[in-house]
Structure 1
Amino acid sequence: MRAFDSALAQSTVFDALIAASKTYGAKKLILEDQERNPLSYTDLIRAAFALGRKISGFTARGERVGVMLPSSSGGVVTFFALHAFGRVPTMLNFTAGIRNLKAACELAGVKTVLTSHRFVEQGKLHDLIDALETLTKVVYLEDVRATVGLADKLFAATAGAFPSRFRAATTPSDPGVILFTSGSFGAPRGVVLTQSNLVTNARQIEGLFPMNRDWVWFNPLPIFHCFGLTAGALLPILGGMKSIQYPSPLHIKQIPPLVKDTKANVLFATDTFLNQYARSAEPDELSGLAFAVCGAERVREETHNMFHEKFGPIPLLEGYGATEASPVIACNIPTDNRRGTVGWLLAGVETRLEPVEGIPGGGKLLVRGPNIMAGYLNANGGIDPPSEGWHDTGDVVSITDDDWITIMGRVKRFAKIGGEMVSLTAAEDLASAVWPDSRHAVVSLPDPKKGERLILVTDRRDADPSSVIAHAKSIGAPELAVPRKIIHVQEIPVLGTGKTDYVALQRIVDTEMQRGG
């Protein structure tokens, strides 16, 4: 484990913003969105005080306030506004569905949800709002801003000039945000990250390699997801670099030209979205990138190669994390980008590998360190901390002597077939190698003879088992890793973060098998 100076992160979120303003210049432009109205540190701090003062009028100190907003300047300002007045941003995943959204509000004790008329209209989220209004008070930011008067503006100007005197007194160990896990494999859980967790993780990422303070970071990932919040928004802003927030990664045709127009140097994405951007983009639209940072899912060789051929030698830096780790645990770096790995372990993160029966060469990863969560929300409104500080990632990994991590799969993503442990991720890789232009997912079902069997779900209409079997033989892959049953679908279900939705996928498979498919 590399050394990490924990003193660098002993700060509250708002104090880290104030410190960045002093370090990099109050007039430096550091936040912009699709409206193309850049904000300086002074603008951001003043806006946070103006909005936060209004929000404080109908919320209580320490209250968990729901935030249902896209990645935007307004979303970032709202986040800092809540911190300026000692409220806890509780980021709501508006793609999770009504049931999960209501469950999140109940678990966190959310009484008030902040959103936007424009966002609700554009996203056609009226059903979500109707459901939330049965549990909470929904407040629209346009309505709040309409009440900002001269006294509020004078207060914001004064507070902006002396922010350390006017911001609420909180501590680094106080809650910094409540987020909800993606729910890839089950019901989302409420994760409480401290202010120190968030600031720490930003500092840890900064410590991976030298960063150019003139870089522009383009973030289309949602700020309700920890990758979008910490890496896409907090890291550049706290590090003196401009952050461009964009409301949806799904706008495949709009994003590449905007990346060019904003002169972005760094792009955040998942493999799924990055692959689609590369296909849609003109050669000059992404060629100005210094690198792209990818998380949430494995970066395919096809995506690496396509980028290199179309846009030049732009590194796609695959990283690894978990909401519970704020989220980054490891990441590749521009000067040492090792394909197939998820990168270099961040300084300050301790690791422990627990053996997994039937899987040699690795183990289940547990992590501990200053970026690891305070704990999970429990049904009583309290927090259940990780045992002795260790978070069980559920991932099976190998780690080199120089702290580079390779993911072998999730514990839940292995099947026992004929007494052997088979990685479902490896089975997906076989299909991806045969049909790289399509999306595939593999699940397992009980089998009376072999214990379990593999089912390949794919959007490739002509996919057949014989092609995968032939490829597996050609590369010497074990026969047990080849799915013999294929289910064709129009599209593979994904979460708002771009990850495969294995819960929905399992329902599709169960339904198809019940039909005798």
Structure 2
Amino acid sequence: MFRTLMTTRRFAPLFWCQFFSAFNDNFLKNALALLILFQVSVRGESSGGVLVTLASAVFIGPFFILSGLGGQMADRYDKAVLAKRLKFAEIFAALLSVLGFWLHSVPLLFAALGLFGIIAALFGPIKYGILPDHLKREELTAGNALVEAATFLAILLGTITAGLAMAMGGHALGLGAGLMGMAVLCWLAARMIPATGEGAPDLHVDRNVARSTAELLRDLWSDTRLWRGSVIVSWFWLVGVVILSLMPVLVRQTLNGTEIVATTLLAIFSVGIAVGSGLASWLASGRIVLLPTPVGAVLMGLFGLDLAWTVSQVSPAVGEPVGAWDFISGGSGLRIAIDFFGLAVAGGLYVVPSFAAVQAWTEKAKRARVIGAVNVLTAAFMVAGTLALAVLQGLGLSTAQLLGLVAVLNLIAGAVILVTLPTNPLRDALSILFRAFYRLEVKGLENVEKAGPNAIVALNHVSFLDAPLALSLLDKEPVFAIDHGIAQRWWVKPFLKVTKAMPLDPTRPLATRTLINAVKSGETLIIFPEGRLTVTGSLMKVYDGAGLIADKSGAMVVPVKIDGPERTIFSRLKRDQVRRAWWPKVTVTIMPPVRLHVDPELKGKNRRRAAGAALYDIMSDLVFETADIDRGVFAALIEAGQLHGWRRTALEDPVSGTMSYARLVMGANILGRKLQALLPDAKKPVGLMLPNANGAAVTFFALASAGRVPAMINFSAGPAAVLSACRAAQVDTILTSRAFIEKGRLGALIEGIQGTLRLIYLEDVRAGVTTGDKIRGFLEPRRPLVARHGSDPAAILFTSGSEGTPKGVMLANRAMLANTAQVAARIDFGPRDKVFNVLPVFHAFGLTAGLVLPLISGVPVYLYPSPLHYRIVPELIYGTNATVLFGTDTFLTGYAKMAHSYDLRSLRYVVAGAEPVKQATRKTWAEKFGLRILEGYGVTECGPVLALNTPMFNRFGTVGRLLPGIESRLEPVPGIEEGGRLAVRGPNIMLGYLRA
């Protein structure tokens, strides 16, 4: 997210504007401090310390006086316009500071510092008000982290630059050029900030700053949550100003260090703030999580106590001031540096979540004023802290005592914040745990808010971690709908005690009515429509009761997909179903809210069933819509190997035996590199004429890896049809095999095409593979040789349809992967299955459904070259324990006649297409094998599958329901009363036709 923000105009100009501005502020402030301490004659060292403290007060003072006015102006006018004008005025403040350095005039420099403070006070509400205007809610924490990190990076660079400049004599020309250059860059960056519009165009800007400031503070006080968040933020800046004010005095008076030592400690502190800010953003994962704040306060206290103790033990130094290396190399110096770093990391961890929360909780129309009020409160804390520090210094308290006092106050603050935390500590803790251990990534979090206050959040159920994960996602305290039987188990009861849960019992209608009323009253309901943990890894049955709640309550349904926890020990999937991992990455994808649509004419049991079916459609759409289809087919194969294990069997045929994912990917890349040399024109399609065998799959994926488009040649069509197809696709080269031509008795076909087409035999290519090629293939990373995108062509298939002449159908990678995702969203099959594919890969169903779909799903494929071997195929199904068979009515009838009644015992799914399934075929399969045939419908142009019967929705004599993501309409055709012309649209549709 950091990289995305830094490359978008919504954030980058503001980032650089505030960075350059903060650099100038801190350059001037630190140069002035060093000028006072090391070059200006003063009456005593203690007076110098007080004067440095006074400089901080001069800079901070305007924040207390003008932040309210700045907030009103930022809400009234366009914030981008105000930023441009303020940064233009800052150039003149820089000119005054140049004059001050030229004359070595402390009063002039104090005046310039005051002007910088005035501009910063007016700019503060603009800066933090623009963030929520241009950033999404889930980007706020990251945006604030970058702003805080940049602020302290500017402090670091400003401090280093000031220290080096003063150490080299503090020449006015160099100091002035630096200040002016940064001021101009700041103004140029401000000019690039996009317009925000007027937040409250009717707002009256009160020029009485005392009255407007008091009014803003009263408004802030009236909102308990915002007030607490503001106090939390203000405490950080109080601690920060005290620590940074003490640091130069600590270095000069206690540690006897040079300016470089002070610069080094400030650098360490600034880097620590940046690290802590980044850590806070990472832990929040785009959410408002406040638990890091009290943790950060306690850590600030602990590091502060150790720092105070270490400083108190330092012996008064005598002699020449020590340099940075001598300081760090000493035992106490290194410990002091570590304490400063830890203190800063804890500070970043503390402030970023709290400020992001204040921004997120504020209405847009008054956001800048609230931020202005926060700045007033912050300034008051800083001024109070600075004045208290000056008084305590005047009373003679040592630096160690002051550091110890701040540390103790931090410990007290941590305890108070934890007790009064505006958010749920349990929810925050869960969110942090998931982020820290499972690298939680949340996509689409803003969709929960779009659903309104009484949303129904419907999640797939993959592990026992799902409920805590769901709790960690929502800012509002949700109600859990939990199965009555599960709620009685002892290990669930502790979770029920700390959450709001209501039982869902299909046998008790009153329980369902209670949940409906809870949603109607404004509660957010979390429900797992499957009612149980998945034992297949896919979407299981959706209970009608869950759909009825959504229907009767009228609430929006927010579909949520959880990926990752199924690989943990907390799922019910076995090791042969999923590759176990202790800490897998967890991804939560939240889709836009939808409303359940049920025919208003339906009543009673029929309405309940229809509601359940509608919710099932929403959940299956969720599975499809969260699938990654905008990539190449070969990239999807590689991900399957990574997810399911490289040693897992991917392919098998009667001749070559088994082939693992590792061998398949390595072989495809080795062959692909050879084919790149043989096929230099990457834009020209390549014919692929091979039977169903491991070699065909390897060659198909080799071409995919090499960035070549395979045109799948139908070798049973005859020479004329093959030549016509090649002309249509502009194919002049065909990859094939001598062994295949010999065994397939295709000599006549070869004689008819070899004079026109170039034939490359895989045996010849294989003979050219050297040991070096194999070693390279073994050692190189598993990735495509040529990166492919979803819109790039994946394959060309041929169809004559009703026109007679073959034409090419070009399928994109996206279309092929979309069709596999559509089928996978409706069929619960997984790594325990095995597909027996007898349909030739030159047909769309044999390629997409029979080869690509199972391979990218972790399902092994047994490839057999002919579907016509009616006696052999059932025997092989029996021997391989295949669970999925694709076929046509003709093939299925042949298998049923020849098979023993026990041969097909392992089959779970028998899917038929291409022609209607006869009633006699269904009856034979049901009576002889106890299997029902799931009929579907598809066309090559659609990837090919359009509709499919499934175990959950199966009606004999139909082709089932349309798959997810497909839109359709039926156009009337003159003369046809029943039916019409079917028009479809979806991501699985072809790129277009190729004609001769």
* TM-score, scaled relative to structure 1: 0.71
Deviations 1:472-492 (A, max 9, x none): xxxxxxxxxxxxxxxxxxxxx
1:109-120 matches, cutoff 5 A = 109-120=730-741
Q: Which residue of 1 aligns with 2:952?
A: 335
Could you say which residue in structure 2 is the equivalent of 1:37? 657
Structure 1 or 2: more helix by fraction: 2
97, 113, 126: which is aligned to 2:747? 126
Alpha-carbon distance in structure 1 between the residues aligned to 2:902 and 2:800: 34
Contact 1:64 1:88 in 2 (8 A): yes
**748, 764, 767: which is aligned to 1:146?**
767
State yes or no: 1:10 paired with 2:630. Answer: yes
Q: Work out whether 1:246 is the aligned partner of 2:246.
A: no
Q: Within 5 Å, give how 1:60-71 maps onto structure 2.
A: 60=680, 61-71=682-692
Query: Counterparts of 1:303 and 1:335 in 2: how far apart (Å)?
Result: 21
- In 2, the alpha carbon distance for the partners of 1:183 and 1:374 equals 17
After superposition, what is the alpha-carbon deviation per residue over 1:391-428, rounded to whole angstroms, capped at 9, x for unaligned? Answer: xxxxxxxxxxxxxxxxxxxxxxxxxxxxxxxxxxxxxx
Deviations 1:31-68 (A, max 9, x none): 11122611111010011011111111110223211000
Q: After the TM superposition, which residues 388-399 of structure 1 pair with which residues of structure 2 at under 5 Å, given as runs?
A: none
Where in structure 1 are there 5+ consecutive unaligned residues? 380-517
| Cα contact 1:179–1:190 (8 A) shared by 2 | yes
For residue 93 of structure 1, the aligned residue among 714, 720, 738 is 714
CA contact (8 A) 1:265 1:289 kept: yes
Give % identity.
46
The SS at the match of 1:367 is: strand
1:38 is paired with a residue whose SS is: strand
Aligned to 1:28: 648
The residue number in structure 2 matching 1:348 is 965
Q: CA RMSD in A?
A: 1.5
The equivalent residue for 1:279 is: 897
Q: What is the CA deviation profile of residues 264-289 of structure 1, one whole-angstrom value per residue up to 9, with x for unaligned ones?
A: 00111111011000001111111221
Kindly indicate whether residue 665 of structure 2 is the aligned counterpart of residue 48 of structure 1: no
- CA deviation map 1:434-479 (0-9, x unaligned): xxxxxxxxxxxxxxxxxxxxxxxxxxxxxxxxxxxxxxxxxxxxxx
Please report how far the alpha carbon of residue 353 of structure 1 lies from its aligned counterpart in structure 2 after TM superposition.
0.7
Q: Which has the larger radius of gyration?
A: 2
CA distance in 2, matches of 1:336, 1:270: 20
Asked if the contact 2:724/2:805 (under 8 Å) is kept, the reply is no
Which of residues 985, 992, 995 is equivalent to 1:368? 985
Counterpart Cα distance in 1 of 2:971 and 2:740: 45
Secondary structure of the structure 1 residue equivalent to 2:657: coil
Mapped pair 1:264 → 2:264: no
Query: Closer, same or farther in 2 for the Cα pair 1:229/1:182, shift >3 Å?
Result: farther
Structure with the higher fraction of residues in strand conformation: 1
CA contact (8 A) 1:290 1:315 kept: no
TM-score (norm: length of structure 2): 0.37
Of 827, 830, 853 in structure 2, the residue corresponding to residue 212 of structure 1 is: 830
Farther off after superposition, 36-45 or 340-349: 36-45
Partner of residue 163 from structure 1, selected from 778, 782, 787: 782
- 8 Å contact 1:315–1:337 — kept in the other structure? no
Q: Which stretch shows the higher mean deviation, 73-82 or 139-148? A: 139-148
Distance 1:6 1:378 in 2: 35
Partner Cα separation in structure 1 for residue 758 and residue 876 of structure 2? 36
Structure 1 distance, partners of 2:643, 2:732, is 37
Q: Which amino acid aligns with 1:269?
A: G
The reply on whether 1:306 has 2:924 as its aligned counterpart is yes
CA separation in 1, counterparts of 2:776 and 2:731? Answer: 28
CA–CA separation in structure 1 for the residues paired with 2:635 and 2:981: 37
* Structure 2 unaligned blocks of 5 or more: 1-616
- Checking the alignment, whether the CA contact within 8 Å between 2:830 and 2:857 is kept in structure 1 is no
Instruction: Compute the displacement of 1:6 (Å).
Output: 6.4
Structure 2: how far apart are the matches of 1:147 and 1:190?
A: 32
Q: Find the aligned partners of 1:209 and 1:78 in 2 and give their Cα distance.
A: 28
Amino acid at match of 1:146: A
CA–CA distance in 2 between the matches of 1:345 and 1:77? 32
Other structure's SS at 2:885 match:
strand
Deviations 1:300-349 (A, max 9, x none): 1111000111111x121111000000100011112332111101211001
For residue 377 of structure 1, what is the aligned residue in structure 2? 994
Does structure 1 residue 234 correspond to structure 2 residue 855? no
Give 4+ residue runs of structure 1 displaced > 6 Å after superposition: none
SS in 2 for 1:338: coil
CA distance in 2, matches of 1:54, 1:15: 19
- Choose the corresponding residue for 2:804, options 178, 186, 203: 186
What is the CA–CA distance in structure 2 between the aligned matches of 1:46 and 1:236, rounded to whole Å?
A: 19
Q: Which amino acid in structure 2 is aligned with residue 350 of structure 1?
A: E
Cα gap change, 1:256/1:184 in structure 2, threshold over 3 Å: closer, same or farther? farther
Aligned residues: 375
Match of 1:83 among 701, 704, 708: 704
Alignment partners' CA distance in 1, 2:840 and 2:800: 12
Distance in 2, matches of 1:306 and 1:225, equals: 27
Shift of 1:184: 6.2
| CA shift for structure 1 position 7 | 5.4
Q: Is the 8 A contact 1:30 1:243 kept in 2?
A: yes
SS for the counterpart of 2:765 is helix
Mapping for residues 415-430 of structure 1, pairs under 5 Å:
none
